[in-house]
């Protein structure tokens, strides 16, 4: 009899995770909110299916909405089916997972609420063997971060532990961390009164994306790219985050935040740091974060006198996305008809250090653009001498471009010149492509899966450290102030479904470059 052989993808060898997770209880503030339904609970369920949750585990959701444990479990089940269709749903495994879910309605502005949470955690500790190890995840409106942390401290659920002791309890804080430099420093000061830095996990979900983590592997596990990764070989770098979506029912939040606070201060500056940093001395949380912060410290500061040459803002008006008419930003729900909020921003950054001097870095981020794409494109210098020319060659000498595609197509591509087959020497520019999906043939874990797991384990490498958050606010602060003081006269200045305002093309064009056509 021929034995049936299961074919396995050899690329997946060695992916077994051998990290230890202690039993613990996980408390979510804002458990009735969108993030819990769309991301947090699906991520926990995915970890459960992979056997990555600890043996003793309880999840306690809390928010103002009154709900029983049963109603919470049902709500989470419906959300899972709706928002995480790629996860295999099966009643038996759901029932086992759901038996660890609990819910208490509390008002985070009142001390009684914390007493309810405290006594529930004591029950769960004995029922699930979670031994007083607690993680508090703040998925609420940012205005509640401080009152919740103070409430947790006042009730004794959050205490300062020595830097040498295991970091229990831990607090996970969603972005935005502060509204500007002063508020982020103030928030940190209050947090550090009751907790030490190693207990604080400031989440930036971009850092949990597989392709973002791969930037470090690509740069520092390969020998051939790093020698080219500098001003001698790189002409410029473009980092793009383009979204077709608008504000998706978050008009009130977005009107205050805008593109700078929503995407650039956090996600894009994190990406930038990973692309430009020096190799860390070790792959641990502090060594990596030490190198990332140095990048921000080298950014040439924006000043009121230079901002107009270095940054451009835009706001979308009505237009079409994939053939469907969509309203302009000022017509969105909960947005003022004269809102000055930028829904698009592009910045030319200069890095004052030995490696990057003279290499412009362009970043752009916008809502309601023509396509949803996030990528980092490294444009290398052109070959120094044009050997192949004439009718049979592509008219213009081009450059090699290495693109790290973050989403939606996750992968890496390298553009290079090649000879077209035939009797003459005809140069063609092609892409050599690596695609995650086809190479590994495996489901890509979501960013929240990875980050929640790291937090359970106690590994803060992929979370933002206080100095990074402050330095990123410091960098964009002059821009925030300048744009607040000079109301835009031309908003809306780009149509939904376009590639942003013309001024963004002029910004990059002034140095002889052009945005990539995506
Ligand atoms: C969030 C922003 O942090 O990131 C949203 O608040 C944005 O406005 C989202 O749409 C983008 O995340 P992703 O993973 O879809 O690129």
Domain shared by 100 and 155, yes or no: yes
Q: How far is ligand 1, taken at its centre, from the CA of residue 204, in Å?
A: 10
Under the banding of pLDDT at 50, 70 and 90, the label for residue 8 is low
Domain shared by 157 and 232, yes or no: no
Domain shared by 217 and 161, yes or no: no
Measured from the CA of 262, which atom of ligand 1 is nearest? 6
Q: What percent of the chain has pLDDT over 90?
A: 84
For residue range 184-210, what is the model confidence (pLDDT) as tens digits?
Answer: 999 999 999 999 999 999 999 999 999
Q: Which of 203, 237, 252 is the last residue of a domain?
A: 203
Measured from the CA of 267, which atom of ligand 1 is nearest? 3
Domain shared by 405 and 457, yes or no: yes
Mean pLDDT in residue range 330-338: 97
pLDDT at 10 over 60: no
pLDDT of residue 62: 98
Domain shared by 354 and 469, yes or no: yes
Measured from the CA of 241, which atom of ligand 1 is nearest? 16
149 within 8 A of 174, measured Cβ to Cβ? no
| Order of strands, sheet of 361-366, starting from the edge strand that comes earlier in the sequence | 311-314, 344-349, 361-366, 234-242, 373-380, 401-407, 411-420, 426-435
Q: Got the DSSP string for 80-134?
A: HHHH-TTSPP-HHHHHHHHTTEEEEE--TTSHHHHHHHHHHHHHHHHHHT-TT-E
Report the residue among 248, 250, 267, 365 best suited for mutation to probe ligand 1: largest number of ligand atoms under 8 A from its CB: 267
Residue 2 lies in a domain: no
Q: How far is ligand 1, taken at its centre, from the CA of residue 391, in Å?
A: 46
Q: Give the span between the Cα atoms of 169 and 230, in whole angstroms.
A: 42
Q: Which residues are catalytic?
A: 267
Q: Is 210 in the pocket of ligand 1 (CB under 6 A)?
A: no
pLDDT of residue 70: 97
pLDDT of residue 397: 75
Whole-model pTM? 0.93
pLDDT of residue 4: 39
Q: How far is ligand 1, taken at its centre, from the CA of residue 243, in Å?
A: 9
Q: Is 34 in the pocket of ligand 1 (CB under 6 A)?
A: no
Domain shared by 455 and 468, yes or no: yes
Residue 3 lies in a domain: no
pLDDT of residue 391: 61
Q: How far is ligand 1, taken at its centre, from the CA of residue 397, in Å?
A: 37
Residue 514 lies in a domain: no
For residues 148 and 392, which has the higher predicted lDDT (pLDDT)?
Answer: 148
Under the banding of pLDDT at 50, 70 and 90, the label for residue 424 is confident
- Look at ligand 1, atom 4, and give the residue with the nearest C-alpha: 263
Mean pLDDT, the chain, integer: 93
pLDDT at 1 over 70: no
pLDDT at 17 over 60: no
Distance of alpha carbon 124 from its chain centroid, rounded? 32
The backbone torsions φ and ψ at residue 489, rounded to the nearest 5 degrees and listed phi first, read -90, -15
Helices first, then strands: H and E counts in the chain: 16, 18
Residue 72 lies in a domain: yes
Residue 442 lies in a domain: yes
For residue range 278-328, what is the model confidence (pLDDT) as tens digits?
Answer: 999 999 999 999 999 999 999 999 998 999 999 999 999 999 999 999 999
Look at the alpha carbons of 376, 271, 342, 138 in this order and tell me if their dihedral is positive or negative: positive
Mean pLDDT in residue range 265-270: 97
Residue 1 lies in a domain: no
- Look at ligand 1, atom 9, and give the residue with the nearest C-alpha: 263
Measured from the CA of 175, which atom of ligand 1 is nearest? 3
Query: Tokens in use for 505?
Result: 């093309």
pLDDT of residue 337: 97
30 within 8 A of 36, measured Cβ to Cβ? yes
157 within 8 A of 118, measured Cβ to Cβ? yes
Domain shared by 28 and 105, yes or no: yes
Q: Which of 176, 203, 230 is the last residue of a domain?
A: 203
pLDDT at 5 over 80: no
299 within 8 A of 478, measured Cβ to Cβ? no
86 within 8 A of 437, measured Cβ to Cβ? no
Q: Is 243 in the pocket of ligand 1 (CB under 6 A)?
A: yes
pLDDT of residue 427: 87
Residues 6+ apart with CB under 8 A from 237: 275, 276, 359, 360, 361, 362, 376, 377, 378, 379
pLDDT of residue 398: 87
- Look at ligand 1, atom 13, and give the residue with the nearest C-alpha: 206
pLDDT at 15 over 60: no
When divided into structural domains, the chain yields a total of 2
Q: Is 375 in the pocket of ligand 1 (CB under 6 A)?
A: no
Query: Tokens in use for 37?
Result: 């339904």
For residue range 69-121, what is the model confidence (pLDDT) as tens digits?
Answer: 999 999 999 999 999 998 988 999 999 999 999 999 999 999 999 999 999 99
For residue range 109-158, what is the model confidence (pLDDT) as tens digits?
Answer: 999 999 999 999 999 999 999 989 999 999 999 999 999 999 999 999 99
Q: How far is ligand 1, taken at its centre, from the CA of residue 35, in Å?
A: 11
Under the banding of pLDDT at 50, 70 and 90, the label for residue 57 is very high
Q: The domain that contains 337 carries what CATH number?
A: 3.30.360.10
Domain shared by 109 and 142, yes or no: yes
Domain shared by 173 and 270, yes or no: no
Residue 198 lies in a domain: yes
pLDDT of residue 334: 96
Q: Which of 164, 188, 203 is the last residue of a domain?
A: 203
For residue range 365-386, what is the model confidence (pLDDT) as tens digits?
Answer: 999 999 999 999 999 999 888 8
Q: How far is ligand 1, taken at its centre, from the CA of residue 283, in Å?
A: 27
- Look at ligand 1, atom 14, and give the residue with the nearest C-alpha: 206
Q: Give the span between the Cα atoms of 155 and 47, in whole angstroms.
A: 30
Q: Is 130 in the pocket of ligand 1 (CB under 6 A)?
A: no
Q: Is 204 in the pocket of ligand 1 (CB under 6 A)?
A: no
Q: Give the span between the Cα atoms of 139 and 2, in whole angstroms.
A: 54
Domain shared by 189 and 211, yes or no: no
Under the banding of pLDDT at 50, 70 and 90, the label for residue 6 is very low
Domain shared by 191 and 289, yes or no: no
CB-based burial of residue 139 (10 Å sphere; 0-12 exposed, 13-18 middle, 19+ buried)? buried
Query: Tokens in use for 441?
Result: 């043939």
Q: How far is ligand 1, taken at its centre, from the CA of residue 388, in Å?
A: 44
pLDDT of residue 244: 97
- Look at ligand 1, atom 2, and give the residue with the nearest C-alpha: 262
Q: Is 374 in the pocket of ligand 1 (CB under 6 A)?
A: yes
| Rg from Cα positions in the chain | 25
pLDDT of residue 227: 96
Q: What percent of the chain has pLDDT over 70?
A: 95
Residue 108 lies in a domain: yes
Domain shared by 254 and 174, yes or no: no
Which domain range does residue 290 map to?
Answer: 207-509
Helix axes 145-154, 111-128, angle to 10 degrees: 70
Q: The domain that contains 113 carries what CATH number?
A: 3.40.50.720
Measured from the CA of 266, which atom of ligand 1 is nearest? 3
């Amino acid at each position: 009899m021929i034995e049936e052989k299961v074919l396995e993808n050899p690329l997946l060898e060695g992916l077994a995770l051998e990290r230890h997770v202690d039993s613990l209880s996980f408390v979510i503030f804002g458990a009735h909110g969108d993030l819990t339904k769309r991301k947090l609970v699906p991520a926990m369920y995915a970890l459960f299916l992979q056997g990555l949750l600890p043996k003793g585990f309880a999840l306690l959701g809390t928010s103002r909405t009154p709900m029983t444990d049963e109603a919470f479990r049902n709500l989470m089940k419906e959300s899972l089916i709706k928002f995480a269709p790629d996860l295999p749903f099966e009643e038996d495994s759901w029932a086992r997972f759901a038996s660890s879910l609990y819910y208490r309605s509390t008002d985070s502005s009142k001390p009684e609420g914390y007493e309810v949470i405290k006594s529930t955690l004591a029950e769960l500790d004995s029922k699930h063997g979670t031994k007083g190890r607690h993680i508090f995840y703040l998925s609420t409106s940012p205005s509640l971060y401080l009152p919740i942390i103070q409430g947790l401290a006042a009730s004794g659920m959050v205490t300062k532990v020595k830097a040498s002791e295991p970091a229990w309890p831990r607090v996970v804080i969603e972005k935005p961390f502060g509204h500007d430099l002063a508020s982020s420093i103030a928030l940190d000061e209050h947090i550090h009164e009751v907790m030490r830095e190693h207990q604080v996990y400031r989440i930036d979900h971009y850092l949990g994306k597989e392709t973002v983590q791969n930037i470090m592997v690509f740069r520092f596990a390969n020998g051939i790219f790093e020698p080219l990764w500098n001003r001698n070989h790189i002409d410029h770098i473009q980092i793009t985050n383009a979204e077709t979506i608008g504000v998706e029912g978050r008009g009130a939040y977005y009107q205050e935040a805008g593109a700078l606070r929503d995407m650039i201060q956090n996600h894009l500056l994190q990406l930038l740091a990973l692309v430009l940093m020096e190799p860390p001395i070790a792959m641990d949380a502090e060594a990596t974060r030490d190198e990332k912060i140095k990048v921000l410290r080298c950014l040439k500061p924006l000043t009121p006198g230079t901002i107009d040459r270095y940054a451009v803002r835009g706001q979308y008006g009505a237009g079409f996305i994939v053939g469907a008419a969509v309203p302009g930003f000022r017509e969105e729900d909960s947005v003022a008809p004269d809102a000055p909020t930028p829904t698009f921003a592009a910045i030319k950054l200069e890095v004052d250090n030995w490696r990057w001097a003279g290499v412009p870095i362009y970043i752009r981020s916008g809502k309601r653009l023509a396509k949803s794409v996030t990528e980092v494109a490294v444009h290398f210098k052109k070959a120094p001498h044009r050997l192949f020319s004439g009718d049979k060659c592509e008219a213009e000498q081009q450059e090699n471009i290495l693109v790290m595609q973050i989403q939606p197509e996750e992968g890496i591509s390298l553009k290079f010149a090649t000879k077209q087959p035939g009797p003459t020497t005809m140069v063609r520019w092609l892409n050599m492509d690596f695609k995650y999906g086809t190479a590994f043939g495996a489901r890509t874990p979501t960013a929240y899966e990875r980050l929640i797991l790291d937090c359970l384990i106690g590994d803060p490498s992929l979370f933002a450290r206080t100095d990074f958050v402050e330095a990123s606010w410091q960098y964009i602060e002059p821009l925030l102030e300048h744009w607040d003081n000079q109301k835009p006269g031309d908003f809306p200045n780009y149509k939904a479904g376009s590639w942003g305002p013309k001024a963004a093309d002029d910004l990059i064009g002034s140095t002889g470059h052009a945005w990539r056509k995506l």
